[in-house]
Structure 1
Amino acid sequence: MTESSAITPEQVEHLASLSRIAMGADELKSLAGDLSTILSNVARVNEVAGDDVPATSHPIALSNVLRPDVVGETLTSEQALAAAPASADDKFLVPQILGEE
């Protein structure tokens, strides 16, 4: 990254202002240097990455290992409601929390 394309403290100050983040002069200068270093490193990676190298998020391909979706035995309404503190019309009865009628 060339010196002309480095992030300036004024640019960081502008971004901080847009983000409503209060920053001191030392913080602005430090963050400008950090951001310039990050951009420099990204530019270096872009130089190495060729068109023959696919973009990846992991070095090893990931795949999900899922079990088959098979319907098994389920509880009846009576079994499910047997231990419920309160029920009505084959449903769990719970306390009202939203103040609705």
Structure 2
Amino acid sequence: MSLDTATVRRVASLARLKVESDELPRLQAELNGILDWIEQLQAVDTSGVEPMAGGGGGSLRMREDQVTDGNNQSGILANAPDRAGAFFAVPKVVE
């Protein structure tokens, strides 16, 4: 499968991307490369291969919903680049 320039322009429009006319050939080549790769993947024989996740007919074990506060304030704040007491400190963004 190969995309022409008009199709690439339409895909960009549907994705709400502004693509200049001089960028269309490069984008067309990239999309065609992706489609070629997908065709290669579709050619692989996967008969007899079990799915890794989902669709296996099994069900997930359900747990009871419980509201908690997490009780891990110090662990969470340890990831903060800057903190002010027991809070995240962020730079002022409005002047």
TM-score, normalised to structure 1, is 0.44
Structure exhibiting the larger radius of gyration computed from Cα positions? 1
- TM-score by length of structure 2 reads 0.46
